[in-house]
Amino acid sequence: MKKATFNVKGMHCKSCEMIIGESLTDLGAKKAKAAWKAGTVDVEYDEKTLSEQQIKDAIKKEGYEVVK
């Protein structure tokens, strides 16, 4: 299991946190916790089934900018 933190721009409320979290767990992340005030997303995932690039792409698909 791998853990990563992504810096994300564009989140401005709790709804943004839920959108990103649900998108990443639907993608296959074991845990995904977004924090809009900090501008971060913490993700725990199995690197055998999910890549860092797939996570970044999913966040971007929801309309947010990954700056890490």
Q: What is the CATH number of the domain that holds 44?
A: 3.30.70.100
The domain total for the chain is 1
Q: How confident is the model at residue 16 (pLDDT cuts 50, 70, 90)?
A: very high
Inform me whether the pLDDT recorded for 25 exceeds 70: yes
Residue 17 makes CB contacts below 8 A (sequence gap 6+) with 11, 33, 34, 35, 36
Instruction: Please give the Cα distance from 20 to 55 (Å, whole number).
Output: 10
Residue 48 lies in domain: 2-66
Q: How confident is the model at residue 36 (pLDDT cuts 50, 70, 90)?
A: very high
Identify the three-state secondary structure at position 42. strand
Identify the three-state secondary structure at position 62. coil
6: buried, middle or exposed (CB in 10 Å: 19+, 13-18, 0-12)? buried
Q: How confident is the model at residue 68 (pLDDT cuts 50, 70, 90)?
A: low
